[in-house]
Structure 1
Amino acid sequence: MRRVLIVGAGQSGLQLALGLQSYGYEVTLMSNRTADEIRTGRVMSTQCMFHTALQHERDLRLDFWEAQAPRIVGVGVSLADPAAPAELSRPVDWLGRLDAFAQSVDQRVKMAGWMDTFARRGGQLVIHGAAVSDLDHFSRMYDLVLVSAGKGEIVSLFARDAARSPFGGPRRALAVAYVHGLGPRPEHPDEDAARCNLVPGVGELFVIPTLTTGGRADILFWEGVPGGPLDVFEGVRDPADVLSLVLESMERFTPWEYGRATKIELTDANATLCGRYTPTVRDPVGRLPGGGLVLGVADVVVANDPVTGQGSNSASKCAAAYLDAILAHGDRVFDEAWMRAAFDGFWASARHATKWTNTMLDPPRDHVLRLIQAGATLQPVADRIANGFDDPADFEDFFYEEERAEAYLAGVRAGGAGAGG
């Protein structure tokens, strides 16, 4: 029986651990927190998982919360004009329909539940914050060591890939609040949709229906351009203060969202999170002091800003790609060539998410604004952009280059072949 060590109990690490376990591998999972500590701790992220990522969970029968979590049937986009009067400040507003529903489950719920399942199924769970010295020791005991913990000392094992990492610092200041009591959007009062409110030059507000520890809730998530009017969360720790700043920013820049948030309250005492980080792609193979090799997983090696909601989706896709690569490798040695090939299998999809995310972190080009504006009057355009959250590779065909964008819009307006996704 092949022995595998996975360091880190997030979306990718746990999905991969449970997947390998189901195929008879002897899996050890290292986490710096217990399931109960995760369940009762601070929120760890935003997340909205689309069809492909959800299907990877279903394939492993890990979709434990599908019946409970809100079914997100569309992605709405509002384009704000921060210089206009409040009543005129939303010149573009539309809802793109998803081909298959998306869902969001608070990672405190999912990771704690998956950890309990892993242990109950006989997996070895080690509660310990791993250091490089630990991995040096363990690399001699296991056939394969995978690192899916995206913070701390061990991330330094994976060198920054300068060719794939265009940014030298954070591109957004981030603030998250999980809330109860948010009213429905009047445009779709009986349906759940994720909302993207774009405020050019200022930042973005995302509103995501979710399932949290206290049941159904909504995530309010601000991304502010560093140094701009939304860069106000640095050093704010008190959850009430975070929520107050979130609401003040909503009232100022997205009054149509603020109007349904006047009766909200935090879901729990740990329902806020603030921070910032630099989007980075890293070399997937880490070399230990003793000569052993470890393979980086998900955001350890591809850390994108959450502006396009790709984090948990990419993590699920990475776990699925690595699982297939491990199973296909049989009893052969997991050498450096195999590790790089496994990462290449993941990068085939991750590169599209990275390109799209990095594009959206820069000021939008004129043709991108025209695409977004077209979604208000051309439903196929709204639907195609919405479904790009599930498959960012599709953006290659119509999003990045002005000539392709204009040809696509012309085809939609003419009702021809160019309207397709």
Structure 2
Amino acid sequence: MRRIAIVGAGQAGLQLALGLLAAGYRVTVVAARTPEQLRTGPVLSTQAMFGPALRIERAAGLNLWEAETPAVHSVRGTLAAPPDGPQEVAVQALAFTAVMDEPGQSVDQRIKMAGWLELLAERGGRIEYRTLDGAGLRALAERHELTIVAAGRGELAELFERDAGRSPFDRPQRTLTCLYLHGVGVPDPAAEPRARMHAIPGAGELYLQPALTGSGPCTILLWEALPGGPLDCFADRPAPDEQLDRILGLLRTRLPWEYELCAEAEPTDGLANLYGAVTPTVRHPVARLGEGCHVLGIADTLVLNDPITGQGANNAARAAALYQRAIIERGGAPFTPDWMRETFELCWQHARHSVEFTTAMLTMPEHLQGVFAAAAQHEAVARRFANTYADPADYAAWLATPELTAGYLEAFR
């Protein structure tokens, strides 16, 4: 029975651990927090998951909250025209509604990861609740045949060298402000649950995602603010109530139609908010910890995207499924650095599309702006754009260059 260690207890780490355990491997997970600490702790992410990733969870029997989580079938996209002056408010310059081929869902990772940790323990997996530095990681790797780092950002991720050729940015493109809310209204009750996204030229974006948290269904509100811009006003990390007051102030002039829907909202709990920034980064897959000691990275440790396209949890689910297959197919052969690199390259064949799509959404080239305008006029364009979030591989077929986009949109002119 082969011994596998996984450092990190997020989407990729726990999904992989549970899959390998079911396949007969001896699995040790190193987790920083216990289930109780997770459930009573701060928000971890915004985690929108689309149909293909949810199918992976469903096939593995890990969709424990599917029945009670809002199923999001469509997205409402809006481009806001900025206010003309200090006494004016923004208006909707264009809007479109896009239907997803498969519904998406979002489960608060505080309850999801706590539940998966408990499931891992029930099924006989070994869990060590502690944090590791580089020396601790090496000691762990020396006791296992394969060690996988699923720690996302932080000290352990920095052990993996940045891949400059694949990393599109060297600094954050947005500052991120997230708040979980109860009591957010909806513009069209007959169409709910629906995600809403708003582009605010020169300022950033706002996303509203129906989700499930510990106190029931909720709405996750995510500001993507251009650094130094008018939406970038949460660096002092206010408490949820104060954060909501500032958000309402922004909505009153920037997105007044959303202000009306959020005016009666309240935070889901006292730790329902998150603030930060992400430098989109791709790293080399293998870290050398000493002579003959190598570890393999996975998901956000190696491919870290800004959440503007919601790819993090989806990439993690795909990567965990691919790594699981590769480990099983390896049989009894050693997990060499070459095998580690080859395994990640298989993962990169899909992950690269999420990087390219996210880069485009952060920089908004002219031909992509044209897609927004076309989506407002043609349902088929809106639908294809929405489903590119679910399967970003389609980005390469119609959004990657101005010529591809023009060729696709020509049929609608």
TM-score scaled to structure 1, two decimals? 0.95
CA distances 1:307-334 after superposition (whole Å, capped 9, x unpaired): 1111111111111111111111111000
Which residue identity does 1:220 align to in structure 2? L
* SS of alignment partner, residue 263 of structure 1: coil
> In the alignment, which residue of structure 1 is the partner of 2:258?
257
Cα pair 2:153 2:300 within 8 Å, conserved: no
Gaps of 5+ in 1: 414-421
Q: Equivalences for 1:340-351 in 2 at 5 Å?
A: 340-351=341-352
2-structure distance, mates of 1:341, 1:204: 37
> In the alignment, which residue of structure 2 is the partner of 1:376?
376
Cα pair 1:353 1:393 within 8 Å, conserved: yes
1:134 maps to 2:152 = no
1:309 maps to 2:305 = no
Tell me which stretches of 4 or more aligned residues in structure 1 moved more than 4 Å: 84-88
CA distances 1:67-125 after superposition (whole Å, capped 9, x unpaired): 00001001221111114586762111111101111001000111000000000111001
1:216 maps to 2:221 = no
User: Which of 144, 154, 164 is the matching residue for 1:162?
Assistant: 164
CA distances 1:123-156 after superposition (whole Å, capped 9, x unpaired): 0010010111112112221110000012332122
> In the alignment, which residue of structure 2 is the partner of 1:117?
119
By how many angstroms is 1:412 displaced? 3.5
Cα pair 1:388 1:394 within 8 Å, conserved: yes
1-structure distance, mates of 2:83, 2:268: 33
Cα pair 2:300 2:312 within 8 Å, conserved: yes
* SS of alignment partner, residue 9 of structure 2: coil
> In the alignment, which residue of structure 1 is the partner of 2:55?
55
> In the alignment, which residue of structure 2 is the partner of 1:324?
325
Which residue identity does 1:127 align to in structure 2? Y
> In the alignment, which residue of structure 2 is the partner of 1:337?
338
The alignment of Structure 1 onto Structure 2 pairs a total of residues equal to 411
1-structure distance, mates of 2:251, 2:144: 50
* SS of alignment partner, residue 165 of structure 2: helix
Tell which deviates more after alignment, 244-253 or 81-90: 81-90
Cα pair 2:82 2:89 within 8 Å, conserved: no
Which residue identity does 1:297 align to in structure 2? I
By how many angstroms is 1:290 displaced? 4.6
Tell which deviates more after alignment, 333-342 or 190-199: 190-199
> In the alignment, which residue of structure 1 is the partner of 2:148?
146
> In the alignment, which residue of structure 2 is the partner of 1:400?
400
Which residue identity does 2:38 align to in structure 1? I
Tell which deviates more after alignment, 58-67 or 240-249: 240-249
Cα pair 2:90 2:253 within 8 Å, conserved: no
> In the alignment, which residue of structure 1 is the partner of 2:237?
236
Cα pair 1:136 1:290 within 8 Å, conserved: no
* SS of alignment partner, residue 139 of structure 1: helix
2-structure distance, mates of 1:210, 1:95: 19
Cα pair 1:380 1:412 within 8 Å, conserved: no
Which residue identity does 1:42 align to in structure 2? P
Which residue identity does 1:241 align to in structure 2? E
2-structure distance, mates of 1:126, 1:332: 27
Cα pair 2:278 2:305 within 8 Å, conserved: no
Percent of paired sites with the same residue: 44
* SS of alignment partner, residue 75 of structure 1: strand
By how many angstroms is 1:280 displaced? 0.7
2-structure distance, mates of 1:368, 1:139: 45
User: Which of 160, 184, 190 is the matching residue for 1:182?
Assistant: 184
2-structure distance, mates of 1:407, 1:289: 52
Change (3 A) 1:87 1:276: closer
TM-score scaled to structure 2, two decimals? 0.97
